[in-house]
Amino acid sequence: MFAVKTNVLMIVTIIMIMSFGIFGETISKTNSETKLIADLLAGYHPSVVPSDNGPVEVGMGFGMGYFDFIDETKELAIANGFLFRFWFDHRLQWSADDYNGTQVITIDRNTIWVPHIQVENSVTVKEPTDGQLRVLSSGRVSFNQPLHIEFICDMDLTYFPYDKQSCNIEFGSFLYTTEFVNLTASSYPFVIPNASLVKSAKDFQVTTFTVKRNEPYSQFVAPYGFADVTYTIGLKRQSNAYTAKLIIPSVLSSFLILATFLIPAASKEKITLCGILFLCLLLLIALLHTTVPGTGETILGQLLAFSLFVDFFATIMAVVSYNIKVNGIWSRKDSDIMLKDIKTNSDSQSDSGDKTLVTPPSMPSRKLAWLRYIDAISFIVFSIVFVIGVSVIMTQRE
């Protein structure tokens, strides 16, 4: 019994000694980090650029996770992701052996120098006002923070709804020229742009995501310029829904306009069909106007406008043709021919004793021949323009 109590007491003693050792080591490490930070920041001024024999090389990367258009009419887009920055600060170097083997510390962003980087084409940028920086004993500093950007994206809607867009996010600084800070795109694998990792809204698919360094304003502050890093996002619109509600009705309505030129010139049905198609085209143009963002001109809109003009022309021709048929437009020569034919028919019926009512001859078909020629020419011209317009639109699907 005594031996058992002795063993238990020894085990408890060993556990307590280990616990105190670990706790003491933790306290010692904490004290070392506290002393290290105090030593590093003694006499450190966060406004001074840590340039030593040349500009500070700042590598940056933007890991975008989500993209969407918040207002296509105003050409505004949003992007969410993480902004990564890396640089060396020679004032933050130390020997790990002097501080109990401490090789990495975290420092508040407001206590040391941080490169000023802004989104040059942004409307609003939401980012945390605080944050921690990771500093290595070699003086390498890394700063990672989430970013929510609302920025301007110029759109080309010529081939809507089969359009492809390209949006730029420009990171740069108007505070430091390349004499003090040289901003470059980071080559670290986890910040290299990757389109497959970017989620987008249902209307668009991210196809490409690339990065390029520029110096667009070097001519104003020669020999140094303001460097920027531009991320380019390639987008392709998901056009299936627009094909169903815009393209197919527009194409079918245009085909029916072609059919009106094949209906006899003086037919009432032609007037009715032209009127219905005119209303359909107006509705399609109104739908396109409410669907297409901004005031961009599209080939589809031009095709619908041309179809509306041709339908108006066909309606006018149908009304004129019908009035010619009903009211008659005769020359004096035509009237003399008609009276001669009526008299001849009347005399022949009198000789035979037939008292049937004499009917006038039908209107000469040559009076409407020129209208049929106009219909034929219009059919050919509109068919050519229609085929060209539809071909241009449909080739943009690929």
Structure tokens at 166: 């390209």
CATH code assigned to 241-328+363-397: 1.20.58.390
Determine the average pLDDT of the residues in 313-339: 63
| CB of 36 closer than 8 Å to CB of 99 | yes
Cα of first residue to Cα of last residue in the chain, in angstroms, is 88
Structure tokens at 202: 């249902």
56-238 folds as: Acetylcholine Binding Protein; Chain: A, (2.70.170)
Query: pTM of the entire structure?
Result: 0.71
Domains 56-238 and 241-328+363-397 share a fold: no
Of the candidates 368, 388, 389, the one whose C-alpha atom is nearest the C-alpha of residue 270 is: 368
Determine the average pLDDT of the residues in 14-28: 47
Count how many residues are written for the chain: 398
Q: What is the pLDDT of residue 24?
A: 42
Confidence of residue 311 (pLDDT cuts 50, 70, 90): confident
Q: Using omega within 30 degrees of 0 as the cis cutoff, is the peptide bond preceding 223 cis?
A: yes
Q: Is residue 231 helix, strand or coil?
A: strand
Q: What is the pLDDT of residue 19?
A: 46
pLDDT digit string, tens, across residues 154-208? 888 888 888 888 999 988 887 887 888 888 887 665 566 777 778 877 788 888 8
Of the candidates 132, 135, 70, the one whose C-alpha atom is nearest the C-alpha of residue 96 is: 135
Structure tokens at 233: 């996002």
- Where are the chain's structural domains? 56-238, 241-328+363-397
Calculate what percentage of the chain has a pLDDT beyond 70: 72
Q: What is the pLDDT of residue 123?
A: 79
**DSSP bridge partners of 149:** 79, 125
Q: Is residue 124 helix, strand or coil?
A: strand
Report the C-alpha gap between 265 and 319 in whole angstroms. 9
Q: What is the pLDDT of residue 343?
A: 53
Q: Is residue 10 helix, strand or coil?
A: helix
